[in-house]
Amino acid sequence: MNRTYLPGILAMAAIVVASNILVQFLLGDWLTWGAFTYPFAFLVTDVMNRVYGPGPARKVVVAGFVVGVICSLIGTQIQGDFGPLVTFRVALASGTAFLAAQLTDVFVFNRIRGGRWWRAPLVSTLVGSSLDTAIFFTVAFSAALTAIEPGNDVAWANEALPLLGAGPALPLWVSLAVADWGVKLSLALLALIPFRVVVGKLTPRPA
């Protein structure tokens, strides 16, 4: 691995570890603190893509995936009040969502990397974030996928409640997904500022 990419790998690893820890702490009825750290993984991927290209960006994604798998394996061995902190379904959902969303982000970014500086990171992050949310919450909590882990009771996540406390009655996990998606979209806009700054510092100046 080229040492030039090491800061990107370390940043991605730090975000993945922090998110896996902070997801255990609730914030209100619909969110966890991890919802505010994980979206910055897309920032790391996009910076790597802009400065070094799609190949190095994919390597950083794979490194983040490996760290995530390790975190999930550790989580399955830690017992909480209702069983292991990380169930097989959650681990599968997390890994699948991360890999699919991040690689999609790299693909979309690379396809539209020309033009205005903000277009590629914004569009790729919006697409990747939406895919991440859809895959994770569906695989982790949908009643239609109970066969993935029959012993894992996800009835609590499928209780019909008003969407975000005010909308039509839908399974609880849909509210969790919508709230998480909203945070991701908001942070996608805010992340354009550090993206611009970091890329400016890392991009070689013409002689």
Parent domain of 80: 3-145+175-202
Q: Is residue 169 part of a domain?
A: no
pLDDT at 72: 87
Give me the mean pLDDT over the 19-24 stretch.
92
Domain CATH number, residue 58: 1.10.1760
The answer as to whether 151 is a domain residue is no
Whole-number pLDDT of residue 178: 97
pLDDT tens digits, one per residue of 89-142: 999 999 999 999 999 999 999 999 998 999 999 999 999 999 999 999 999 999
| pLDDT given for residue 174 in this prediction | 97
Residue 50: the pLDDT is 96
pLDDT for 32 beyond 90: yes
* Residue 205 pLDDT class (50, 70, 90 cuts): low
The mean of the pLDDT values for the chain is 92
Tell whether the model's pLDDT for residue 207 goes beyond 60.
no
152 lies in some domain: no
For residue 62, what are its two tokens? Answer: 């794979």
76, part of any domain: yes
- Is residue 159, in this structure, part of any structural domain at all? no
Whether residue 49 is contained in a domain is answered as: yes
Locate 91 and state its tokens: 């681990």
**75: confidence class by pLDDT, cuts 50, 70, 90:** confident
Tell me the mean pLDDT in the region 181-193: 96
Using one digit for the tens of pLDDT, what is the confidence trace for 136-186? 999 999 999 999 999 888 999 999 999 999 989 999 999 999 999 999 999
For residue 129, count other CB atoms closer than 10 A to its CB.
Answer: 24
Say what the pLDDT of residue 83 is.
Answer: 67
State the total domains in the chain.
Answer: 1
- Whether the Cβ atoms of residue 143 and residue 173 lie closer than 8 Å to each other: no
Q: Pick the more confident residue, 162 or 1.
A: 162
Produce one character per residue of 7-41: b if its CB has 16 or more CB atoms within 10 Å, e if not. ebbebbbbbbbbbbebbeeeeeebbbbbbbbbbbb
Residue 156 lies inside a defined structural domain of this protein: no
Question: What does the pLDDT read at residue 80?
Answer: 65
Q: List pLDDT tens digits, range 77-86.
A: 877 666 677 8
- Using pLDDT thresholds of 50, 70 and 90, give the confidence band for residue 1: low
Spatial separation of the C-alpha atoms in residues 140 and 126, rounded to whole Å: 21
Residue 11, in any domain of the structure:
yes
